[in-house]
């Protein structure tokens, strides 16, 4: 599939095969490689189009983040709809994991890609508690976190996106972390 992406954008077969081999490990996109997310999104375009059409025909909304597919509906999702989705996914050479498939009704806490999506999108309470503890430790001895400054900044910005006040506090704490020295030759 990855080789097909390179062919589709105009690379000759030999170059597409070379680039596909360079970007894959054992014929799969390796987790953590910088090329994997972009290539996965390009590979997923046809399936996204198909699943969007299936969802819209049933009055639903389809969204995807990486390999997490979500179908949002105001009504009960039927077995027929689930079968149509499964067939579509399999027709593209993928499979759904039954252990990762969930149906969540209006009374349940709905969590998608690490965020709670009930009345508003937010970071789950248990994760926010972990982040508060993390930033508390940083505030007590910021110099010990110099090498983790970028990671802390990422967490603070993520928190800020969904919880402005807590995120602002975290950003103030991160600002006190010393910038690590760069490696000089």
Over residues 124-142, the pLDDT tens digits come to 899 999 999 999 999 999 9
pLDDT 10s digits, 102-123: 777 666 667 777 777 777 788 9
User: Please, which pLDDT band fits residue 21 given cuts at 50, 70 and 90?
Assistant: very high
How remote is the C-alpha of 57 from its chain's centroid? Answer: 26
**pTM, to two decimals:** 0.65
DSSP type of residue 116 = E
Specify the pLDDT at position 183: 65
pLDDT 10s digits, 32-89: 899 999 999 999 999 999 999 999 999 988 888 888 888 888 888 889 999 999 999 9
Specify the pLDDT at position 178: 92
Name 113's Cβ contacts closer than 8 Å, sequence gap at least 6.
Answer: 65, 66, 68
pLDDT 10s digits, 7-17: 999 999 999 99
Inter-residue contact 185 to 177 (CB < 8 Å):
no
């Amino acid at each position: 599939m990855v080789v097909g992406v390179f062919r589709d954008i105009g690379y000759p077969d030999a170059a597409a095969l070379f680039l596909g081999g360079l970007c894959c490990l054992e014929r799969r996109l390796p987790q953590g490689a910088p090329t994997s997310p972009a290539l996965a999104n390009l590979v997923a375009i046809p399936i996204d189009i198909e699943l969007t059409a299936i969802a819209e025909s049933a009055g639903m909304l389809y969204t995807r983040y990486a390999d997490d597919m979500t179908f949002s509906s105001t009504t009960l999702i039927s077995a027929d709809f689930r079968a149509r989705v499964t067939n579509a996914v399999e027709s593209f050479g993928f499979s759904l994991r039954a252990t990762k498939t969930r149906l969540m009704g209006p009374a349940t806490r709905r969590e998608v890609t690490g965020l709670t999506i009930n009345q508003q999108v937010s970071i789950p309470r248990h994760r926010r508690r972990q982040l508060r503890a993390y930033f508390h430790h940083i505030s007590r001895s910021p110099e010990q976190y110099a090498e983790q400054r970028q990671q802390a900044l990422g967490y603070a910005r993520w928190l800020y996106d969904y919880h402005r006040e807590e995120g602002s506090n975290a950003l103030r704490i991160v600002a006190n972390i010393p910038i690590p020295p760069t490696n000089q030759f």
